[in-house]
A and B are shown apart, each in its own frame.
Chain A
């Protein structure tokens, strides 16, 4: 039977001592039966004596953490456990367990006291401290951990509850121990704070960085506070900043190198057109020194004819309507001559997107311009030559047609008639045939003469060209045709936007004569003939128009034949079908062309295009 010992202070010293004990204690024998407890135990736990003595109750879950520790019979000191008490939920007890040895048996005793208040203070302190840093260790000079406060455990996952009393160094990788020991010595000696940033001090995560701080809380005690703070995020930001700075430096370096050594001229220009900086290449191109350039504005160097466009484009950049532009401008060299520059201008913006200054890149394209205009010139000559050749081919083709029809035709008739001649006995018939034969021979001769003229025209491309006053020529022709003019009461209207044409005067007279004569010939009896002569410029060439209100021509029917040799279209009019053929030949000889618009019963308009370019190019050659 177990004998409970409630130590009555009146009975003996042991009881007096037990009663005086502020800590509560409970003792069990080797079988786990409660054998002793003191009044403080009853006081702290606020349980009645029968319950205290009830071993089975202590084994029940209602006995909480304290009950469990009693059953486990382990030795430990100063565990902080949470115990729900009838009068106080969330009571924290500081508990120590010890085995008790008598001569005959081994018992077990736990002592405990209410540390709730102390822990609360401690916890607030802990909260304050850990909000500052991730881990705070208070340790002795030799590294024994006295207290641990821990904030976020996300990175440094240490069994911190167990750390107290252990050496701090056992949680560190070897490479760190010496360094920390050295730092501890320094701090102990100097009393000054030491801070180090370490990469992954626990050798667990390569991507973390910690800042370690060592300091002495006061001069009197010999402890050291070691704080460890995760600076990975800061460090990362720092690294990125460093990286950005490096990149910035790199790009500045690149820009500087481009600026200094580029074969392209580069300059920085203020919004008012002041040169802010100019690279060597551009200085070299324009012939100025940097000092001279910086004293100038861009508008003093741009060719006056290009200035308006330049200022308009710079204004558009300044007003942020555009971000960049390209242009070709003439810039004045220091020697006074102008250089063709191809340039690109772009805006350098402030953070608020206003324009800070302009970046100008320029290349000298004078030589290219020159080559380009040379090429253009050659191209024009080539084109003109090609047009000329095409005209010549057309003329040759036409001559060929004339030979095929207008020479071979009557010639073959003469041959046939010569064959037939012996068979014709009748004198009258012989006379008729001879008459026709003579006509055919005349026609051949006539055609040959015309051909001779055509060839002569083509051979005389060297005829002198002079400035021909058109009005003068037209009026002269008009008076020479006076008889017809009066007869038909014809009206002449002139409108010359180009007063003179550079041409061979006899040819121009001939062209105008035929056109005006035709206009006077093919009139409609019911209307007063009105002839309009006009000139104007079209794509660099002068156009001459002779327009009438005469009978017109059905171009659908006759268009292709209009300028052919000996073609006639209107019965009852005096015509040999040679005039239009001849003048087209003349016009083509100098690279020009003639065109017609006509409507039957309304009138015709003839357009002569004087291709001056061909003439000019010929002179060039």
Chain B
């Protein structure tokens, strides 16, 4: 069975990270789950692996409210990155905020795959992953 190679979970909430890892492991659709507790760490990792496509994520679940570099700051930097040709990365904003101003900001990034509001259950995760899997 096909698996998604790399999923990045960027969130400073340890409980959230734990729950997501549990779900991914149970679904057995992902090879590697990478945990980043702020945007800066995730960004630096991607930057360092621009020439190693196998290390780059296929899916990024991005929290908004984080220290050092929040989700929006991450996105501003991320969209400028020269990704290897043909490399598809789906980035979902995953936040607890239903605030209108946050939704508006998400629209500033057309490359976003979606805006998800916490809490999200196993089914939503499954849906996202299935969409990503090669048919």
Contact = CB atoms under 8 A, between A and B. Distances in A.
A397 B65 CA distance: 15
B15 A417 contact: yes
A420 B15 contact: no
Given A408-B96, A412-B96, A423-B26, A432 B67 contact: no
A569 to B, nearest CB: 6
B45 interface: no
B28 to A, nearest CB: 14
A394 to B, nearest CB: 12
Contact of B99 (A400, A409, A436): A400
B14 interface: yes
Interface stretch (A263-271, A560-568, A612-620): A560-568
Nearest to B13: A413
Contact of B98 (A404, A416, A432): A404
Contacts of A436: 14-15, 18
B18 to A, nearest CB: 5
A439 B118 contact: no
Contacts of B97: 401, 404-405, 408
A400 B99 CA distance: 8
B73 interface: yes
Interface residues of A, number: 35
A405 B95 contact: yes
Interface in B13-42: 13-16, 18-19, 22-23, 26
A415 interface: yes
The binding surface of chain A is classed by DSSP as: helix
Interface string B96-122: 111101100000000000000011111
Given A417-B15, A417-B18, A557-B73, A409 B121 contact: no
B1 to A, nearest CB: 21
Given A416-B120, A420-B19, A568-B68, A404 B96 contact: yes
A424 B22 contact: yes
Contacts of B73: 557
B6 to A, nearest CB: 22
A423 B22 CA distance: 9
Contacts of A144: none
B61 interface: no
Contacts, number: 87
A94 interface: no
Interface string A247-272: 00000000000000000000000000
Interface in A395-429: 397, 400-401, 404-406, 408-417, 419-420, 423-424, 429
A433 B64 contact: no
A423 B25 CA distance: 12
A207 interface: no
A312 B23 CA distance: 88
Interface in A91-112: none
A64 interface: no
A558 B104 CA distance: 20
Contacts of A416: 16, 19, 118-121
A433 B15 CA distance: 7
A437 B13 CA distance: 10
A405 B67 contact: no
Given A406-B65, A413-B118, A561-B70, A420 B96 contact: no
A410 B101 CA distance: 20
A409 B22 contact: no
A389 B2 CA distance: 57
Contacts of A569: 67-68
Given A404-B99, A408-B97, A440-B13, A420 B22 contact: yes
Interface string B39-65: 000000000000000000000000111
A424 B69 CA distance: 32
B99 A439 contact: no
A184 to B, nearest CB: 114
B14 A409 contact: no
Nearest to B23: A420
A422 to B, nearest CB: 12
A577 interface: yes
Contacts of A424: 22
A405 B22 contact: no
A424 B122 CA distance: 14
A571 interface: yes
B16 A413 contact: yes
Contact of A401 (B14, B22, B99): B99
Interface string A180-203: 000000000000000000000000
A550 to B, nearest CB: 17
Contacts of B63: 409
B18 A433 contact: yes
Contacts of B121: 416, 419
B15 A437 contact: yes
B118 to A, nearest CB: 4
Given A410-B13, A413-B119, A440-B13, A567 B67 contact: yes
Contacts of B70: 561, 567
A414 B15 contact: yes
Interface in A469-500: none
Contact of B67 (A401, A412, A415, A566): A566
A606 B118 CA distance: 36
Interface in A288-328: none
Contacts of B68: 568-569, 571
A269 B9 CA distance: 89
B19 A409 contact: no
B96 A405 contact: yes
A439 B68 CA distance: 20
Given A416-B19, A561-B70, A404 B14 contact: no
Contacts of A417: 15, 18-19
A413 B19 contact: yes
Contacts of B13: 409-410, 413, 440
A94 B98 CA distance: 135
30 contacts: A404-B95, A404-B96, A404-B97, A404-B98, A404-B102, A405-B95, A405-B96, A406-B65, A408-B96, A408-B118, A409-B65, A409-B95, A409-B118, A412-B118, A413-B15, A413-B16, A415-B119, A416-B19, A429-B22, A432-B18, A436-B14, A436-B18, A439-B15, A440-B15, A557-B69, A561-B70, A568-B68, A569-B67, A569-B68, A577-B67
Given A415-B119, A417-B15, A439-B14, 16 more contacts: A401-B97, A404-B98, A405-B95, A408-B96, A408-B118, A409-B96, A412-B16, A412-B119, A419-B119, A419-B121, A420-B22, A436-B18, A439-B15, A557-B73, A568-B67, A569-B67
Closest 9 CB pairs of A and B: A404-B97, A408-B96, A405-B65, A568-B67, A412-B118, A436-B15, A412-B119, A409-B96, A413-B15
Interface of B: 13-16, 18-19, 22-23, 26, 63-65, 67-70, 73, 95-99, 101-102, 118-122
